A and B are shown apart, each in its own frame.
Chain A
Amino acid sequence: MNRIQKKIWSLTLVVLFIMVIIWAALTYYNQKTQDQYNAILQRYLSLNEVTAASQDLITDLNDYLLQPSEANLNQLGASKANIQEAKSEILILKNEDNEFAMANYMNLIDSLMETTDRSLMYQKQQETEASTNEFSEATRISNYISETTLTLIDTELKTYERLYREIIERSNELKKLGIWLLLLITFLLLLMTYWFSKSITKPVQKLTQSANELAKGRFDLPIKVESNDEISFLAETFDRMRININNLFMEIQEKAQLEHELQQNKLLLKESQLQSLQNQINPHFLFNTLNIMSKKAYLEGAEETSDLLVSVAGLLRYNLKRLDKPVTLHEEVIVLKQYMEIQKARFTERLHLHMEIDESSLGVQMPGLTLQPVIENAVIHTIEPSEEGGNIWFRISHSENIVIIEIEDDGQGMTEEKVKQILRGNSEQTEGQSTGIGFSNVVKRLRLFYGQEDVIEIQSAIGQGTNVMLKIPKKRRNDEND
């Protein structure tokens, strides 16, 4: 993942590639031009060589005629070979335009050679005058060769004029190409550099921005960097760090809340206990007395009174003991029944209690003395004010993970405001409560106990009765944590 390095490399390679192409093209062009110049020069040079060689031949012939020595003869032979060579070289110069002139030129050279040979021959035969004549003829031919060379060069110039002009034009065009190329490459390089630098600095900028946000304490903004190099890797890591910090933060917050709740719970408990203690002076004495009264009634044959007293004693005991410990729904239902028995004794025919209990749900845990205050509330507001009495339904049913306890009455109902007050947990009215524990206290304790708000639902309207629904989770949240 050497992306940035790769980018730098690729940029460099592209520049290098362009440079190589230009270099290659220029070298190619240069080579071609050089070749062409060489070819052109070679033409003129070889033409000139013929002239020079023919003049050399004349000089050597002259030397030999004046002084017929072996050395001079050899020199003459060399000159002849020279001129033959020059002749073969100019053969390639033949083209359509100068064909006639070239043929003449070749023949002139031949004539020169022949005349030279004749001159030598006469020299051998001691015919000096003829030899001299031939020599002067050779000299003339040599001159003609020079002249024809000039003519040929002239023709060459005419033939190749277009070509030469093209070469000049091309070299001018090359200058223009150079300028265009410079402009193009500058432009491209600037563009590429811009893109390249942007691709590096933009993610860095984004990262910096995110870091700033993080420094300000905003852990919820995701860090996103659109790039495919090390920066994005950095950003991903950074983002993970942010998520971790965020999680830790949340956990700490939760813990703090839990602690807070625990403290509140304790406080409430204390308050309830204090209330109980305040309300029930010496409950053990009362409890013992009630037991004695029950036995006494039994012995005197008042069995009903005896049972009633047992119920009252049971209720009292329950009230004394089970306030700070979780109890099962089963125990609660028993207490509820005892309480209702007492109330039945009080209201007789006016109280109609209907119970529908799903036995399988009775094992669920809940705080002590939660149902009794609720049903007491129902009794107080339904049965007491009405002469005909009323109905109270008590139902326990269950769904997948909650047990639903419903206490419904057909009394006068509550105002919406009252319902809200109860649900908010700040109705502090405890008058008429036998256990001294109010509805609000029940709601608060339930919420604390299960650690969730949604445990109670109250449907009520004036004149239409009240339906209190407790939703008891089958599993306490704290079970998992403890």
Chain B
Amino acid sequence: MRKIGIVLLCFLCVVLFYFTFQSAEKVFRSNWEMPEHAIEPVNQHRVVLITKNLDTPFWDQVAQGAREQAQKEGVGLEIWGSYGNNREDFLEKIEIAIYSKVDGIIVQGINSDEFNELTKIKASFYNIPIITVANDVPIEESLRRTYVGSDQYLAGQMIAEQLLFDMGTEGEVVLMSDSHQEYYQKQRLQGIADVLKDYPNIQTVNAETPDSREQIISTTQDILNKVPGADAFIAVNADFTGVMVQEIGKRFQIEPYFIYSFDDGSDSLPLLEQQKLDGVIGQSPKTMGNVSVGLIIKWLNDEVVPLDKKGYLTDIRMLKAKEAR
């Protein structure tokens, strides 16, 4: 009886000691250190990629390409920007980047005086190289070092040729572009116009619209009223594709229409897969990211001076509904 008591007491003692020590170890042995702060200033270049269409599939790929390249080259890269075409935020981000004296800015070009002033005057003042990516702004207006992206004129031509191939040489074509007079859209329009001008039986209707959703809807409805016999639609600004197709679908069957777009809008590729679009110009966003980061680093390291002012063009191709399947 006594022995059992002693054994029990010992056991209790051991158990209590065990739990107490384990608890104490948890309390006192945990990591007290704050994460190390980098005392050595790492002399790496800081590059910012700024877009106004964050979190769209196209720009995600650009960002991915850029990140991969940055990691390879060992430079600091951050993706900044605004969501859903917010131009004010976008411009502010560029300004912050300039004031932050980053080593290089890779930016989606837009047609706006503020943008031009920022890139031309501010960036030059702080001596920050700027490369436009995907959407170009001519060097005269932006003093960009170079452009990395698709040849938009060629893209326009390709889409027009596809239209001719699909529709034939007769019909009415509606071209949806936005009212900002973006350079890349102008180039696309130019490319389309240059191909279609040889076919007098094809009428083109240019519809310009501000880029808010309501405006796009009303413009699309308007154009459907004005041009009831339209045979084809081309969303020159790919961001319009979704809304445009939706509005057309509200009124008619989508099937008879020939609808084309570009892949830099977030709706383009899903709609193509649903066969609501007949063709989409596919670009190479990942390559754009890759190349643009590579180029800006070469510039910063004085390896390629000067950069090709005309730009470094990336591959484009026509994606058709059947192929997308």
Which residues in A have some Cβ–Cβ distance to B below 8 Å?
Answer: 25, 28-29, 32, 36, 39-40, 92-97, 99-101, 103-105, 107-108, 110-112, 140-141, 144, 147-148, 159-160, 163, 166, 169-170, 173-174, 176-177, 180-181, 183-184, 187-188, 191
Closest Cβ of chain A: how far from B39's Cβ, in Å? 8
Q: How far is B13's CA from A458's CA once the two chains are assembled, in angstroms?
A: 76
- Interchain CB contact under 8 A, B101 and A100: no
A170 touches which one: B12, B26, B76 (CB < 8 A)? B26
- Interchain CB contact under 8 A, B32 and A32: yes
| Beyond A173-B26, A181-B20, 5 additional pairs, beta carbon < 8 A | A107-B100, A147-B96, A163-B34, A173-B27, A181-B24
Residue of B nearest to A137 (CB): B99
Q: Is chain A's interface secondary structure helix, strand, loop, or mixed overall?
A: helix
The answer to whether B140 has its CB under 8 Å from any CB of chain A is no
- Interchain CB contact under 8 A, A95 and B100: no
Closest Cβ of chain B: how far from A141's Cβ, in Å? 5
Can you list 22 A-B pairs, Cβ within 8 angstroms, ordered by A? A25-B24, A36-B32, A39-B34, A96-B36, A99-B38, A100-B46, A103-B100, A104-B46, A104-B102, A108-B96, A111-B100, A144-B95, A144-B96, A160-B34, A163-B34, A163-B35, A170-B26, A176-B23, A180-B16, A181-B20, A181-B24, A188-B13
Closest Cβ of chain B: how far from A24's Cβ, in Å? 12
- Interchain CB contact under 8 A, A184 and B36: no
Closest Cβ of chain A: how far from B103's Cβ, in Å? 10
B95 touches which one: A32, A140, A173 (CB < 8 A)? A140
- Interchain CB contact under 8 A, B46 and A103: yes
- Interchain CB contact under 8 A, B38 and A177: no
Residue of B nearest to A97 (CB): B35
User: Given A104-B46, A107-B99, A180–B27 Cβ distance below 8 Å?
Assistant: no
The answer to whether B37 has its CB under 8 Å from any CB of chain A is yes
User: Given A99-B38, A100-B78, A170–B96 Cβ distance below 8 Å?
Assistant: no
B30 touches which one: A25, A170, A176 (CB < 8 A)? A170
Q: How far is B20's CA from A105's CA once the two chains are assembled, in angstroms?
A: 47
Q: How far is B30's CA from A39's CA once the two chains are assembled, in angstroms?
A: 17
- Interchain CB contact under 8 A, A160 and B35: yes
The residues of A that contact B38 with a CB separation of less than 8 Å are: 94-96, 99
Residue of B nearest to A178 (CB): B23
- Interchain CB contact under 8 A, A108 and B100: yes
- Interchain CB contact under 8 A, B31 and A173: no
Residue of B nearest to A26 (CB): B27
User: Given A99-B42, A104-B46, A180-B19, A110–B27 Cβ distance below 8 Å?
Assistant: no
The residues of B that contact A104 with a CB separation of less than 8 Å are: 46, 96-97, 100-102
The answer to whether B227 has its CB under 8 Å from any CB of chain A is no
5 A-B pairs closest in CB distance: A104-B100, A107-B101, A177-B23, A111-B99, A180-B20
